[in-house]
């Protein structure tokens, strides 16, 4: 297995496992957004793998609708993770920029432009990543547009993430998780910026986003662990307080 495939499958396994772990909790109403984020991540990563992309796209007609689904999955995942992370970092400013009018406007414009560019492009044959259409100008623009929204949300959260990681009074698991999330977001910003200015980065075009998924999952897992532990401590404190009375 090549290095690229190793990162892709590692990202798929991690995101799928986290989604499965979160599913029972989501069904009980406990942070369903986190489950949704991991589920959409798993879909997006799966459709970046040729051996999965090609049969899925064949079922959809073989004209690369699977790539459009991948884009929508990424946008949805970024929105959910952005909202969750802004709340975890206690950053109302970042939250307003992501789920307030500015962020929703960027998302809506990105979705509309992505859809229009896909529709007007001539894509008669399945091609993972659409790399089979190097001379299609609309596809170059489509690829650039697909990086703008993830870069926007990540840029809104990088500073709050590292600020949370540096907060000495916060528990270690929360600070570690925040640091990991910040590192993953920085990877996304760098990858997106390089893609927008169209600087060729070779194998890193695959490694950066998929390693970001792995690091992000670890960071969100640490933050979620902190939340679960805090709730348990609070419950035990209430029980103890009630018993002593």
**CB 178, CB 164: distance < 8 Å:** yes
**Burial (0-12, 13-18, 19+ Cβ within 10 Å), 9:** middle
**CB 42, CB 12: distance < 8 Å:** yes
**CB 223, CB 177: distance < 8 Å:** yes
| Predicted pLDDT of residue 134 | 87
Can you spell out the DSSP letters for 24-74? HHHHTTS-HHHHHHHHHHHHHHHTTSHHHHHHHHHHTTSSSHHHHHHHHHH
What SS3 class is residue 134? coil
DSSP state of 129: G
Could you give phi then psi for residue 90, rounded to 5 degrees? 55, 50
| Predicted pLDDT of residue 153 | 96
**CB 123, CB 133: distance < 8 Å:** yes
Which ranges of the chain have pLDDT less than 50? 238-239, 243
| Predicted pLDDT of residue 223 | 78
* Cα 177 to Cα 3: distance, rounded to the nearest angstrom: 26
| Predicted pLDDT of residue 41 | 94
* Cα 167 to Cα 189: distance, rounded to the nearest angstrom: 23
Alpha helices in the chain (DSSP H): 3-27, 32-46, 50-59, 65-88, 92-99, 101-120, 137-165, 172-196, 204-244
| Predicted pLDDT of residue 197 | 79
**Burial (0-12, 13-18, 19+ Cβ within 10 Å), 96:** middle
């Amino acid at each position: 297995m090549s290095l690229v495939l190793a990162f892709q499958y590692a990202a798929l396994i991690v995101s799928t496992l986290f989604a499965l772990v979160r599913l029972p909790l989501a069904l009980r109403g406990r942070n369903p957004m986190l489950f949704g984020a991991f589920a959409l991540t798993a879909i997006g990563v799966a459709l970046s793998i040729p051996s999965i992309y090609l049969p899925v796209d064949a079922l959809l007609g073989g004209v690369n609708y699977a790539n459009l689904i991948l884009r929508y999955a990424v946008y949805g995942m970024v929105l959910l993770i952005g909202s969750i992370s802004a709340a975890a970092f206690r950053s109302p400013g970042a939250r307003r920029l992501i789920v307030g009018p500015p962020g929703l406007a960027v998302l809506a414009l990105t979705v509309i432009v992505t859809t229009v560019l896909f529709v007007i492009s001539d894509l008669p044959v399945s091609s993972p990543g659409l790399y089979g259409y190097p001379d299609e100008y609309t596809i170059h623009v489509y690829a650039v547009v697909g990086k703008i929204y993830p870069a926007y949300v990540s840029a809104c959260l990088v500073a709050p993430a590292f600020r949370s990681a540096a907060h000495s009074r916060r528990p270690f698991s929360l600070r570690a998780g925040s640091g990991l999330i910040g590192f993953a977001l920085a990877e996304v910003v760098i990858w997106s910026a390089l893609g927008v200015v169209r600087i060729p980065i070779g194998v890193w075009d695959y490694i950066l986003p998929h390693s970001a998924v792995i690091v992000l999952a670890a960071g969100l897992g640490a933050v979620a662990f902190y939340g679960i532990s805090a709730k348990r401590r609070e419950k035990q404190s209430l029980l103890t307080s009630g018993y002593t009375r």
